[in-house]
């Protein structure tokens, strides 16, 4: 079907030790040697290392030796511990998230920055998130892109408990991506939108407001869908072309780490 990347991430199973993630990575590479393995959140890496009694660098090198090629930025949510204490109290702290990605960059693994916004936080938390990650990028240069992830409220437990709002407004979503383009100027070139969360019409607007990356075509996406998003589980090249054509923008296929594969249009 043309897949170039498999993304591996999930919750923390009480019976899995850190070797489980290594075994899964190795199994993917044995089955599909050319597949790029983009895997494991900072939470999974930190917990996997802890359960084995290893430091982050040692554990990440073992994952890398098994075939891991890059890390997702998920589990970041909002990198503001006052918000994390309410939003995700069972996840790692801001410093632990940053330490994990710093360690990954130091051994040659690339990763990205995500932010889930529009639940319980305010704009000052967005600023802290961007400034902390920009500071790390200036040191390591290991982040490939920034990805804005609007909070999908419909089936979210914190919203159903009436403790969060109904996600960001469209204006806030537009501003998130536009401000990110300004904040990361000179240190991160790529600002990615999440079409699965905002839809094709919203994606076209984001491309006018600082974004240069539509993300993946995806296959059987289920994270946003499980939370209540209804923009589909996959996208075709033809639909991407139809989306960018009115904008007069070029379209290209890239690798996970932003090497050009094919110029598709323009």
- For the chain, which residues make up each domain, given as ranges? 76-265
Which residues have CB under 8 Å from 99's CB, separation 6+? 56
- Residue by residue, DSSP assigns 166-211 as S---HHHHHHHHHHHHHHTTTT--EEE--HHHHHHHHHHHHHTTT-
Q: What is the CATH number of domain 76-265?
A: 3.20.20.70
Instruction: Report the phi/psi class of residue 17: left, alpha or beta, with left for phi > 0 and alpha for psi in -120 to 50.
Output: beta
42-52 helix and 56-66 helix, angle to the nearest 10 degrees: 110
Comparison of pLDDT for 166 and 48, the residue scoring more: 48
Q: What digits encode the pLDDT tens for the residues 146-161? A: 999 999 877 787 878 8
Query: Mean pLDDT across the stretch 13-20?
Result: 93
0.75 exceeded by the pTM? yes
Q: What digits encode the pLDDT tens for the residues 211-245? A: 999 987 765 544 544 444 444 557 788 888 888 89
Q: What digits encode the pLDDT tens for the residues 59-86? A: 999 999 999 999 999 999 999 999 999 9
For residue 48, the SS3 value is: helix
CB crowding 167-188: b at 16 or more within 10 Å, else e: bbeeeebbbbbbbbbebbeeeb
Percent of the chain with pLDDT over 90: 74
Task: Give the number of C-alpha atoms closer than 13 A to the C-alpha of residue 66, restricted to the C-beta side.
Answer: 21
pLDDT band at 92 (very low <50, low <70, confident <90, very high): very high
CB crowding 232-253: b at 16 or more within 10 Å, else e: eeebeeeebeebbeeeebebee
For residues 145 and 131, give the distance between their C-alpha atoms in angstroms, rounded to a whole number.
15
């Amino acid at each position: 079907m043309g897949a170039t990347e498999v993304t591996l991430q999930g919750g923390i199973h009480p019976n899995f030790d850190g070797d489980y993630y290594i075994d899964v990575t190795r199994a993917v590479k044995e089955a599909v040697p050319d597949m790029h393995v983009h895997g494991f959140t900072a939470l999974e890496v930190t917990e996997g290392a802890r359960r084995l009694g290893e430091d982050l660098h040692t554990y990440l090198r073992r994952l890398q030796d098994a075939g891991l090629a890059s890390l997702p930025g998920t589990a970041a949510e909002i990198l503001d511990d006052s918000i994390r204490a309410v939003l995700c109290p069972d996840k790692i702290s801001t410093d632990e998230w940053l330490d994990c990605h710093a360690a990954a960059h130091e051994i040659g693994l690339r990763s990205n920055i995500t932010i889930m916004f529009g639940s319980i936080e305010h704009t000052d938390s967005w600023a802290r998130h961007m400034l902390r990650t920009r500071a790390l990028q200036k040191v390591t240069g290991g982040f490939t892109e920034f990805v804005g992830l609007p909070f999908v409220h419909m089936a979210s437990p914190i919203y159903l408990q009436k403790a969060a709002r109904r996600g960001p407004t469209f204006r806030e979503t537009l501003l998130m991506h536009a401000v990110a383009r300004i904040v990361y100027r000179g240190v991160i070139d790529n600002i990615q939108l999440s079409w699965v969360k905002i839809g094709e019409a919203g994606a076209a607007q984001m491309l006018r407001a600082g974004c240069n990356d539509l993300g993946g075509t995806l296959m059987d996406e289920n994270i946003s869908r499980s939370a209540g998003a209804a923009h589909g589980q996959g996208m075709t090249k033809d639909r991407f072309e139809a989306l960018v054509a009115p904008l007069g923008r070029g379209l290209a296929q890239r690798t996970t780490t932003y090497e050009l594969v094919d110029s598709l249009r323009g």
